[in-house]
Each structure stands twice: as C-alpha cells, then as structure tokens.
Amino acid sequence: MDDIIQVSRLTKKFNIRQNSSFIKSLFSPEGKTLTAVNNISFKIKKGERVAFIGPNGAGKSTTIKMLSSISYPTSGTALVNGLVPWENRKKLAYDIGTVFGQRSQLWYNLPVQDSFFLMGKIYNVDEIPFKRRLSKLVRLFEIRDLLVRPVRALSLGQRMRCEIVASLLHRPQVLFLDEPTIGLDVTAKEIIRGLIRRQALEEDTTLLLTSHDTDDMEKVCDRVIIINRGKLIFDDSITALRDSFLRKKYIEITTDSGQKIKMVVNTAITPAKKAVDELIRQYHVTDLTIENPPMEEIIKEIYARE
C-alpha cells in the first residue's frame, strides 16, 4: 500500500512576546521561542485510521494544521497525497476533509442542508453526483431529521455529525479530525466514534484523529501515534498500546450511602470482571464507571520504560 501521508523532521516554533510593559515591547521586544512540534517523522498508508494522541498542548493540533495546509512549518517536510500542503493549498483542499471540534464550518442561522449545498458549490461538485453523495451520507450519519433545522438549534452532538458530513461531501481521501468528541457527553461520543469508524471502513478513507481521550483511539483507530511536548514518543498499533499500557483500568463505584470508592486494577493479573464482581459482592453499588488510565499516566509510563 502507498503512503498517503509522509512527514519528515517536521518542526514548528512560535515566537512569544514576553515584555511586561507595552512601551518596552515596542522598542525592544523580548521573545521566547516555543517549540510546539519538534522534529517528528511518520508515514501513514492509504486507508489507515490513525489516532494522534497527547495531552493538552502536546502539538497535535499544530501538526494537523500544517498537514492540512493551514500553517507553515519552521522546518521539515510533509507530503499529503503527493502534495506539499502549504505549497498546494487549493489543490490539496479537494483531497482532504477537516473537522475542528472547537469550531463550526456550518452557517449558524441557516438550515443544515443550505450549508451542505453551499459546500457543494465551493467544492465544484456537480448537482446530480452531489445529491447522490449527500443522500448516502445523510443515511450513513442518520441526520435526515436535522437537515431542515437551523444550525443554532442543534445539540453539540448533532452538530458534530453534520460537521463530519459537510467535510465528506467532496469525497476526500484523507479526513483530519481535530478533537471531534470534545465537549460531548458519553452517549454522543459513542455515536460519533461509531459513525466515523463506519464511514472510514465503508469508503476506505484515511483518518488522522487528534484527541486527548484514549477512548477515541480505541473505538475508531487501528494505529496510535503519541506525542508529548512536541516530540513523538510512541508509534504502534492500538493492540500494542493496549497490551503494554492500557492494562490498568480505573474503577469507581458509588455505594447506596453515597460513598465513592476508587480502585486501580491491572487486568493482566485480575480480569476487570472479577474486580467488579468482588466490589458488587462487598458493597451495595448504585453507580459504576470503568475508565482507561488518563493520557498523562500512559505518557509517564512510556517515559519510565524508556
């Protein structure tokens, strides 16, 4: 299989002004250089679903922005579908789709379908293929009832489904998803993850998904790249990560007296089911959650093993 994304020694530095006084900053600006992305290299094959994971401020979004032609790197190179993103912005736009969890590409006051038709015009999609495409995505993402509703009347989860449809209307080969589940509740997150995975499998779309939620990568992707403070620290399959670093599960229960009890279980030694059974046997459990270790914990463990 061909590499659809090739990143080589990519670096992005930002200059930050540090003067405390305005007058001083005008005449002798003092700055600090912040390295957001530090010399990272990786390749992604066509059809791969890759999670780009790291804590807040790790450099995930900065990398996605360079790969999707939004910003220029300080040094290094990258090719997306054979094109250098920042040199071929308009040409590359037809090959990529982007979803930014933090902001919308839909027109706030207009019905959802109007934004879709506008996107079709912007991407020069002819009317008949466009309608066929839209109808397929509407079915896949189950948004028929949302089409006539103005964007402002949608819940965050509904809006995210529409955002993803908008980014797929021109059949991009690569889909960049920057924190697509940010701010969503547990149910909405599950729905979005399932829909993204189903679409990618059905159309062989290459995914690069950033998140600081480890569940996003487990449910959607088959490979994970972890970056921390701009450096690439892990690049392997989800299975490898799970076997090595996701063995610990964080279990929290609430008892009928309102008491909260937390425990960490190493599933390599004690299966999660056994631990839960034991808790239920000992307490009157009214609520129970099982979570993966937080990103910071995984990163700490990766460094510790190095």
Partner 1 sequence: MAAKFIKLFLYVQKSNLKTAFLNLSDALVNVLMMMLNNFSYIFMWWILFQNKGSINGWNFGDMALLFAVANISFATYALFMRGLETLPEYIDSGGLDNFLVMPRSELMLIAFSESSFANWGDYLTGFIMYFFSGHIGWTSFGLLILVTILASVLLFAIRLLASSLAFFINDSQRLGDNFFIAVITFASQPSSIYTGWYKVISLTIVPAGFLVYYPVEVIRAFSWTNLLCLLGGVAIFLALSLLVWRQGLKHYSSGNRFGVR
* Contacting positions for partner 1 (CB under 8 A): 14, 61, 65, 68-72, 89-91, 93-94, 96, 98, 100, 102-110, 114, 117-118, 121-124, 151-152, 159, 183
Closest separation in Å from C-beta 96 to partner 1: 7
Residue placing its CB nearer to partner 1 in the complex, 64 or 265: 64
Q: How far is the CB of 158 from partner 1 (least distance, A)?
A: 13
Q: Return phi, psi of residue 204, to 5°.
A: 55, 40
Q: How far is the CB of 61 from partner 1 (least distance, A)?
A: 6
CB of 300 to partner 1, least distance (A): 25
Q: How near is the Cβ of 266 to partner 1 at its closest, in Å?
A: 36
Please say which residue, 103 or 281, places its beta carbon nearer to partner 1.
Answer: 103
Which residue, 36 or 241, is less far from partner 1 as judged by CB?
36
Closer to partner 1 by CB, 157 or 244: give it: 157
Shortest distance (Å) from residue 108 CB to partner 1: 5
- Angstrom distance (rounded) from CA 92 to CA 77: 15
Identity of the residue, 91 or 132, whose beta carbon is nearer to partner 1 in the bound complex:
91
Query: Closest separation between CB of residue 105 and partner 1, Å?
Result: 5
The residue among 112 and 241 lying less far from partner 1, judged by its C-beta, is 112
Q: Which amino acid, residue 6? A: Q
Q: Based on CB atoms, which residue is closest to partner 1, 123 or 283?
A: 123
Q: In what order do the strands lie in the sheet with 248-255?
A: 260-266, 248-255, 285-291
- Strand 206-211 relative to strand 49-53: parallel, antiparallel, unpaired? parallel
Residue type, 106: L
